[in-house]
Structure 1
Amino acid sequence: MDEQLLLLFSARRLVERLGREQPTLLIFEDIHWADAGQLDLIAYLAAHVRETPVLLLALARPELLDDRPGWGTGLHATTSIGLDPVSPADSAALVGQLTGAEVPAPALGRLVEVAGGNPLFLEELAAGWMEDPDRSAELPTTVRAAIAARVDALPPEQRSALLAASVVGKVFWRGALQAAGTVDSIDRSLDALEARDFVRREATSRVQGDVEFSFRHALIRDVCYSTLPRAQRRSAHESVARYIEQVSGGQDRELAWLLSHHWQEAGDLVRAVGYLLLAAERAEEARAEKETIELLQRALRLVTEVGERSRVGLKLALARVRFEDFEQGAVKPARGPACARPLLPLD
């Protein structure tokens, strides 16, 4: 059996087993950020899991269909539901639930009006009002501005911890912040940020012996990251990359794609390319065709040395041939003196 199909079938068997044990709901959030392999997995499960009480719920922004116009259509027993803005009455009720207090009518009306039915925006505005009730007179007019205003109002230690965490990603670990060395009272800061609902502590951690956290929403992480000066980002990414290498326990291959990102952002393109090639090998073994090609293309774009470009280009061509993309698999010679040498020994 094809390796990729075997992986998909294994996932199907797991989901069917869960469904046989009890009715099961699987929720996939923010799939507009999912890669091709993840989208293929969800579509496969939706098409093949039929005889067990399993419900798949996939949440996405409309831009998902910009890249995959036909995704999710034509499948058995599927329904697409477009979400309208939250009504003013429901928005007012949500503010009451979020604040746990009676908000004065003028402030409540302003919060509901500015949010425009966007629940995330409303959450941030309500949180900002709780932290400073006088702020409702001049509310931010976008979600990003609302988040930025709350971040800017944090005590310095908490703000530094939040910005440092944003470098790691939506999911981060206490040890990564400690490795960065930019925050003194890490535990107190993380506790306070969790209480303010910026981050959440996860019940389990993918890094053994460390505590895992996640940003409540990816947009909070994005706003924090955009606040950091570029020079500070580079050094922070290097610290994160070294931390991941240290704690991976020889499993760099499993985290290669993540390490490639951090080394690239740190400005070390040699290490970034090395990890991209490692990630491509793993993807190819899993028969993840699109992911393999994308990783090799990224590596090729980062390589500047002519001989290395030839080597990476050959890997890309061979991968395309393996996946039967013969038209794109033709090797294009690199420019420069190295292209006069054969790519492989002739004897």
Structure 2
Amino acid sequence: MSPQQTNLLAINVLGEFKLRYAGQIITTVTSTRQQALITYMALHTDAPQPRQHIAFQLWPDSSESQARHNLRKTLYQLRQTLPAIEQYLQIDSRTIRWYPAAPCTIDVVAFEQKLAQAATLAANPTVQQACVAEALDLYTGDLLPTCYEDWILPERERLRSLYHNGLVQASQLAESQQDLVSAIHCANQLLRLDPLHETTYARLMRLHMRNQDRAAALQTYQRCVLMLQQELGVQPSAALQKTHRELLRAEQLLSVQPAQVSGQQLVGRQAEWKQLNAAWQQAAQTHVQLCILSGEAGIGKTHLAEAMLAWATQQEFITATAHLFEAAASLVYSPIIDWLREPALQDALQQMDEIWLSQVARLLPDLLVDHPDLSTPTPTSDQWQRRQLFDALARVFRYGDRPKILLIDDLQWCDSETLAWLRYLLSFAHNNQQFGHNNQPLLILATVRREEFDDDHPLTQWLIELRSTHPIGEIALEPLDPEATAQLAIQVGHTALNTEQAALLYQLTGGNPLFVVEMVRAGMDVNREHAPVARMRLPFPLDQTNGDSTRLPPKVQAVIQGRLGRLSVLARHTANVAATTGRAFSFDLLQRISGQSDANLTLALDELWRRGIIRVQGMQLYDFSHARIREVVYAELSPIQKPFLHRQVAQALATIHAGDLAAVSAQIAVHYERAGATTEAIAYYRQAADASHALFAAKDAVAFLKRALALLNTLPTTQANKQQELAILLQLTAPLTNAYGLLTPELPHIAEQARQLAIEVGTSTQLYFALGSLQVASQMRGQFAQAQAIIEERHALAGQWSAYGTQALDSGPPPPNLDHQLGLIHWLR
């Protein structure tokens, strides 16, 4: 430590008076007169101060001789309590002054010097902001607050004004650097300094509005009104009241009002609508928000979400919807692809850089036609390319100056890769720089059927992990109460109900909105005079996949069956074909399956639409008005009809998508399986596995290949089937280890199966690669003796190849350096 540092005196007179000498706190200078003298001199370091003037300032009520005597006494006491004072103060008979070169720091001097330095840094706002912040940190309180003498008051106010101006400057600089949190912090400090300053209230309100925190802005105004009324008995100025009115208008935009869906108002969902409103306001603050609407089938989840979309459409926001179905549960990125095809999002695609657009082309191959110069994305399972794909998709949905609301209907059937991307989007949404400058809110709505998934469902774990890291919105929809049930029936049937009818309707429906609507509609179909509620029957739901009708109440099924029974033969056949597709269906797909002419198919679809069985989803794209109607239609198909229609659907999909079978291979496989065409199903499940693995969906690829193996085991045990089993097992090893790691307990079992089959019916190359998987499994489990034996066996196979040349390799890469691997095993053992 240098001599100057050893003798350094630090003086703090802003806030609590403190002295520190040579690093040690001095507690002996407790006299208010001594503290006042040191403070006075700290404020006048630039020139000698006459002793007479100092005495008058500190003892203004004393005579001149008494004041001078008091000064001499205080200086004597200061020499006793602070012996080193002579090193800093030059004291003679006429004046007192600070030694200019004395090793001393004074907070008030440093405060003013930092502010003066900041004034010279206007050309560099970042450095200027840091300099102002350093100055403000030095101002720990008013100048010597324990002193109330006249001489200090002007200095205290001068320094307080400098601090005020510094806070204003700091807030402005932070705002210019987009650091709204710091700007708001400085504005709050200004209010603590002067709680009656209207300009500061206006600044703080504006900053909160820029930070998407309208609630805080309103609270700031209310605080101002209360303060002005209590302290001054006045109202805020006209300018501040105008700012408040503008804030209320902006708040009205966020105060979402339910819009009509298909001409109907929401009934009995006021509480849920408020929760949905809160989710939208959260999206406005955090930029991206997920809100999940859960409940049983028919409870009104989709209707509530569509009301939100209808409101958003009125505000000219961008909206997009993706409906998922159980048969399509394994289609990778299906909801994202549906969203990307929304016309309003095409502008975002057109504005993207080619590096990101080429990634999106993985999901939208049509982009390669529209942009012929775009590089074709190479199939790969590398995680860094998966990250690029996720980044590209996030940029699409975060681009633009219009808010967006997206809907996934029936999230429980969503593929794992889409779920992973949603979590990625939420994780990085707080960093606006990640996807470019964009503060427009994005709200993602998702409906979920409670009865469709249990604790073992992938969605359960996804939700648990998401809740631990992100404040997602969750709205649980319950059945309507008796009053709302009656109101809904009146709205649908346009007929008033008496007390007995309303009670019976509630008893039969349990307040399920779908059951109420379907019941009223069925009664209107049977009797144009609007049959009484007591004569209506309730339908019940059914699992569309296996035809098990025990999952829905019989009354509900009866109502839906009643509506279906009044269809013409042509319309009913068309409904049967549509139900077999398992998801939204197109005119072209129906025509290829049914073989109907354009005219007949148009008539059939028109009848289904008029009777409320289907709804229009887009240009020549349709869907059932409710999934439960589709399930009842499918359940009523005979065991003869189902396999025939599934085969027709599979063949039609293969024809329509002949240029890109990978995108629909999973669908085709499911339909061939249900058609009983096991061989074809196995082939398409293998294609689906390759397509999924290329899109980083390794778990999906594993599931497809395991399904293919399960189907293969139902076929006779022939040499050809054994060879195909071997090929599937070898195909399975890569996605299995990518999905579950090299220590997955399934790997040794699968590798051993492949080895035995390769010995029995395979080629030497297949045996070599089966042994490779078995070697990896042994090494990862520390079974080095077994691994050594396997390497030696592979070494012998490689030696055979070298004897016949590299053409002996009928598939796969050339053998690795087995000698090196063998040496490593010896070392490990």
- What range describes the TM-score normalised by the shorter chain of this pair? 0.7 to 0.9
Structure 1 match to 2:566: 153
Aligned-pair RMSD on alpha carbons? Answer: 2.5
| Larger CA Rg, structure 1 vs 2 | 2
Matches within 5 A, 1:127-276: 127-132=521-526, 133-134=530-531, 136=533, 137-140=535-538, 142=553, 143-181=556-594, 185-204=600-619, 211-276=620-685
The residue identity in structure 1 corresponding to 2:505 is L
Which of 313, 329, 333 is equivalent to 2:747?
Answer: 329
Which residue number in structure 1 is paired with residue 471 of structure 2? 77
The answer to whether the Cα contact below 8 Å between 2:686 and 2:705 also exists between their aligned partners in 1 is yes
Counterpart residue number, 1:111: 505
Alignment equivalent of 1:297, drawn from 701, 706, 710 = 706
Is 1:102 the counterpart of 2:511? The answer is: no
Query: Which residue, out of 14, 26, 32, partners 2:412?
Result: 32
The residue identity in structure 1 corresponding to 2:525 is: E
CA 83–148 in structure 1, closer or farther in 2 if over 3 Å, else same: same
Q: Quick check: 234-243 or 330-339, which moved more? A: 330-339
Alpha-carbon shift at residue 251 of structure 1 (Å):
1.3
Gaps of 5+ in 1: 205-210
Displacement of 1:47 in angstroms is 2.8
Find the counterpart in structure 1 of residue 448 from structure 2: 60
The Cα of 1:34 is off from its aligned counterpart by 1.6
Q: 1:237 offset after TM fit, Å?
A: 1.4
Q: Give per-residue Cα distances to partners, 1:88-141, cap 9 Å, x unaligned.
A: 222222223323x11443544433332212122222212212212448415126
Q: Are residue 92 (structure 1) and residue 489 (structure 2) matched?
A: no
Deviation per CA, 1:311-332: give whole Å up to 9, x if none.
1011112322344622232314
Amino acid corresponding to residue 415 of structure 2 in structure 1: D
Task: Give the direction of change, closer, same or farther, for the CA distance of 1:131–1:251 in structure 2 (3 Å limit).
Answer: same
Deviates more, 1:193-202 or 1:111-120: 111-120
Contact 1:128 1:135 in 2 (8 A): no
Gap runs ≥5 in structure 2: 1-382, 433-438, 540-552, 716-720, 766-796, 802-829
Contact 2:523 2:531 in 1 (8 A): yes
**Which residue number in structure 2 is paired with residue 208 of structure 1?**
none
Write the letter of the residue equivalent to 2:683. Answer: G
**Whole-Å Cα distance in 2 between the matches of residues 265 and 214 of structure 1?**
21
Per-residue CA deviation, residues 283-318 of structure 1 (Å, 9 max, x unaligned), is: 111111221111111111112422211110111123
Give the aligned length. Answer: 338
| Residue of structure 2 equivalent to 1:48 | 428
**Distance in 1 of aligned mates of 2:453 and 2:425:** 18
Is 1:5 aligned to 2:420, yes or no?
no
TM-score using structure 1 length: 0.88
Mapped to 1, the partners of 2:443 and 2:469 lie a distance apart of: 13
Structure 1 counterpart of 2:613, one-letter code:
F
- Matched-pair contact (CA < 8 Å) for 2:689–2:700: yes
Q: Aligned partner of 2:726: which letter?
A: S
Name 1:318's counterpart in structure 2. Answer: 734
- Residue in 2 aligned with 1:207? none
SS in 2 for 1:273: helix
One-letter code aligned to 1:224: V
1:162-185 superposed Cα distances (whole Å, 9 cap, x missing partner): 112111123112233333337673
Residue 54 of structure 1 and its aligned partner are, at CA, apart by: 1.3
Shift of 1:45: 2.5
Instruction: Give the letter for the 1:279 counterpart.
Output: A
Which sits farther off after the overlay, 132-141 or 68-77? 132-141
Query: How far is 1:146 from its partner?
Result: 2.8
- Structure 1 residues 190, 335: closer, same or farther in 2, change over 3 A? farther
Q: State whether residues 411 and 448 of structure 2, in contact with CA within 8 Å, keep that contact through their aligned partners in structure 1.
A: yes
**SS of the counterpart of 2:471?**
coil
Contact 1:306 1:335 survives alignment (8 Å)? no
Instruction: Give the share of equivalent positions with the same residue, in percent.
Output: 25
Is residue 650–residue 671 contact of structure 2 (8 Å, CA) maintained in 1? yes
Note if contact 1:311-1:343 (Cα within 8 Å) is conserved in structure 2. no
User: 2: CA distance between counterparts of 1:144 and 1:3?
Assistant: 48
Distance 1:140 1:29 in 2: 24
Rate the CA distance shift 1:55–1:65 in 2: closer, same or farther, 3 A. Answer: farther
Change (3 A) 1:22 1:64: farther
Give the SS at the match of 1:131: helix
The more displaced of 194-203 and 75-84 is 75-84
Distance 1:69 1:169 in 2: 24
1:279 aligns with one of 676, 681, 688: 688
How far apart in 2 are the matches of 1:34 and 1:145? 30
Relative to structure 1, the CA distance from residue 49 to residue 196 in structure 2 (aligned partners, 3 Å threshold; closer, same or farther) is farther
For residue 48 of structure 1, what is the amino acid of its counterpart?
Answer: F
Relative to 1, partners in 2 of residues 1:98 and 1:89: Cα closer, same or farther, differing over 3 Å?
Answer: same
Other structure's SS at 1:287 match: coil
Q: Which of 121, 125, 133 is matched with 2:515 structurally?
A: 121
